[in-house]
C-alpha cells in the first residue's frame, strides 16, 4: 500500500524520492500519512486514507468540506490548508492536502495564543452565522443525536433526564443564534506557521450548532481554568448582548454538549461516574 501511494504521489512533485510517515490521528476510519519529498526535513503533503472502503465516503466528504472552508471570506481561507486531490488506491479513497508545519499549543499555553484563537473564532462565527436561532425543538434534536449511544433501559433514563434538564434551563428568552461550526476545535488542530494561525481537520465543518460551541470546545480541551474559560465565553457572548441569567443557562447547555461529545467518542459506553465527571451537573445523572 505504501509503495502504491508513493508511486501516485510522484505526480505532485519533482522529486522521485518520496517517503511516508504514518500517523493515525483521531478515529473515524482515517489513517494519516505525511509525505516527504526529496529527503526534505518537513512534509509537503498530508494524506488521509480510508482504513477500509466503508470509510471512503467520509474521506470524500471531508475533502469537499475542506474545499468549502478554503473559500471562507475575510482572509479566513488563508488559515485553511489547501486541498490538492482525491485519489483511489485498491478501492480506498485518499485525500491529499497541503501539510501544515508549525508549532502547536501545549497545555497551559500563554494567554497571547489563546487570544489569537479567540479572535479567529469570533471572526469565523461572524462569517458563518445563520439566520436562525436555536429553539427548544432544536435542542431536543441535538440531544437526540446521542440517543443511539444509550440502549434499552439506559435510553429511557437518558430521555427522562434530558427532559428534566431542558425544562430546568429553558425559557422563551433563551434563543441563541445558530452558526455553522468547525466542529472539532482543539489545540491538536491549530498551528502557528510563520506567525499565521492555521486550522486543520475540517471533517465536521458546516454542522449547525449553538454559537459558542466551537469556542467552548476549544477552551474545554485546552484545560483552560474555569475562570479564564468563563471570561472568554463572557466576552464572546457579550457580542450577542445576553443577560446574565441566559448566559449562565447557556454555559450549562454548552457543558452538557461538550460532555456528550466526549462520551460519544468513547465508543458510546457510558457510566454514571463518567457522566457526572464530564457534566458536573449532578442532577442530570441517573440519580435524579
Partner 1 sequence: MRNNYKLIEDIPVFTNDRYWGEIEESQMRDLLKKIEESGFEAAKKSIFQADQKFYEFIFGEVRSDWRFCLPIKKEWKVLDIGAGLGANSFALAKEVAEVRSMDSSFLRAKFIKLRKEFENQQNLEMLVGDALDLPFEDQLFDLVVANGLFEWLGVTDKFDSPPEAQKHFLKEARRVLKPGGWLYIGIENRFAATYLFGGVDHSGLRYTSWMPRVFANFYTKLRTGKRYKTYTYSKYGYEKMIKRAGFSNIQTYLVLPGYNVPKYIVAWEHLAGLKYLTTKILGGQNFRKKTLKFIIKFPLVDRLWRFLYFSFAIFGQKQ
Stretch that binds partner 1, among 7-15, 22-30, 73-81, 196-204 (CB under 8 A): 22-30
Supply the minimum distance, in Å, between the C-beta of residue 227 and partner 1: 24
Distance CA 111, CA 198 (A): 17
CB of 49 to partner 1, least distance (A): 8
Tell me the DSSP string of 36-96. Answer: EETT-SS-SEEEEEESSGGGHHHHHHHHHHHHHHHT-TTTGGGGSPPEEEEEEETTEEEEE
DSSP-H helix ranges across 92-152 = 111-128, 136-144
* Residue with Cβ nearer partner 1 (31 or 76): 31
Return the C-alpha cell found at 230: 468563563
DSSP secondary-structure letter at 69? H
**Residue 22 touching partner 1 (CB under 8 A):** yes
Q: Is 277 in the site for partner 1 (CB under 8 A)?
A: no
Report the alpha-carbon distance of residue 33 to residue 31 in Å, rounded. 7
Residue 132 touching partner 1 (CB under 8 A): no
Fill in the per-residue mask, 82 to 101: x = in contact with partner 1 (CB under 8 A), - = not in contact: --------x----------x
Closest among 225, 217, 228 to 256, alpha carbons compared: 217
Under the criterion CB under 8 A, does residue 47 sit at the interface with partner 1?
no
| DSSP single-letter state for residue 148 | G
Q: Contact with partner 1 (CB under 8 A): which of 8, 51, 204, 264?
A: 51
User: Does residue 34 belong to the site contacting partner 1 (CB under 8 A)?
Assistant: yes
Give the 3-state secondary structure of residue 283. helix
Q: Are 205 and 69 in contact (CB under 8 A)?
A: yes
| Packing angle, helices 153-169 and 136-144, rounded to 10 | 150
Stretch that binds partner 1, among 23-31, 80-88, 159-167, 246-254 (CB under 8 A): 23-31
Contact string (CB under 8 A) for partner 1, positions 147-176, x = contact = ------------------------------
CA distance 100 to 43: 8
Does position 285 interact with partner 1 (CB under 8 A)? The reply is no
Specify the residue, 160 or 268, whose C-beta has the smaller distance to partner 1: 268
What nine digits make up the cell of 43?
512534509
C-alpha cell belonging to residue 276: 457526572
Minimum distance, C-beta of residue 139 to partner 1, in the bound complex (Å): 28
Q: Closest distance between partner 1 and the C-beta of residue 117, in Å? A: 19
Residues that bind partner 1 (CB under 8 A): 1-4, 19-24, 27, 29, 31, 34, 36, 39-43, 49, 51-52, 90, 101, 106, 266-267, 269, 271
Amino acid at each position: 500500500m505504501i509503495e502504491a501511494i508513493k508511486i501516485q504521489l510522484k505526480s505532485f512533485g519533482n522529486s522521485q524520492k518520496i517517503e511516508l510517515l504514518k500517523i493515525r490521528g483521531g478515529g473515524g476510519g482515517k489513517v494519516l500519512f505525511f509525505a516527504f519529498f526529496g529527503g526534505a526535513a518537513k512534509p509537503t503533503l498530508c494524506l488521509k486514507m480510508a482504513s477500509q472502503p466503508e470509510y471512503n465516503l467520509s474521506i470524500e466528504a471531508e475533502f469537499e468540506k475542506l474545499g468549502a472552508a478554503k473559500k471562507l471570506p475575510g482572509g479566513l481561507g488563508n488559515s485553511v490548508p489547501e486541498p490538492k486531490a482525491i485519489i483511489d488506491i485498491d478501492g480506498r479513497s485518499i485525500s491529499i492536502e497541503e501539510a501544515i508545519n508549525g508549532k502547536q499549543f501545549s497545555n497551559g499555553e500563554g494567554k497571547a495564543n489563546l487570544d489569537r484563537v479567540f479572535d479567529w473564532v469570533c471572526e469565523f462565527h461572524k462569517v458563518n452565522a445563520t439566520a436562525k436561532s436555536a429553539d427548544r425543538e432544536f435542542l431536543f434534536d441535538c440531544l437526540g443525536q446521542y440517543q443511539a449511544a444509550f440502549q434499552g433501559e439506559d435510553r429511557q433514563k437518558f430521555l427522562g433526564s434530558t427532559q428534566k434538564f431542558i425544562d430546568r434551563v429553558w425559557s422563551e428568552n433563551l434563543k441563541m443564534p445558530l452558526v455553522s461550526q468547525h466542529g472539532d476545535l482543539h489545540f491538536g488542530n491549530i498551528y502557528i506557521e510563520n506567525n499565521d494561525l492555521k486550522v486543520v481537520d475540517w471533517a465536521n465543518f458546516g454542522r449547525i450548532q449553538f454559537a459558542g460551541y466551537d469556542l467552548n470546545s476549544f477552551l474545554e480541551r485546552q484545560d483552560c481554568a474555569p475562570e479564564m474559560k468563563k471570561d472568554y465565553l463572557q466576552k464572546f457572548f457579550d457580542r450577542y448582548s445576553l443577560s446574565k441569567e441566559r448566559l449562565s443557562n447557556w454555559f450549562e447547555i454548552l457543558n452538557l454538549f461538550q460532555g456528550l461529545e466526549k462520551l460519544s467518542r468513547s465508543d458510546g459506553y457510558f457510566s454514571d461516574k463518567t457522566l457526572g465527571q464530564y457534566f458536573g451537573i449532578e442532577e442530570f445523572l441517573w440519580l435524579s
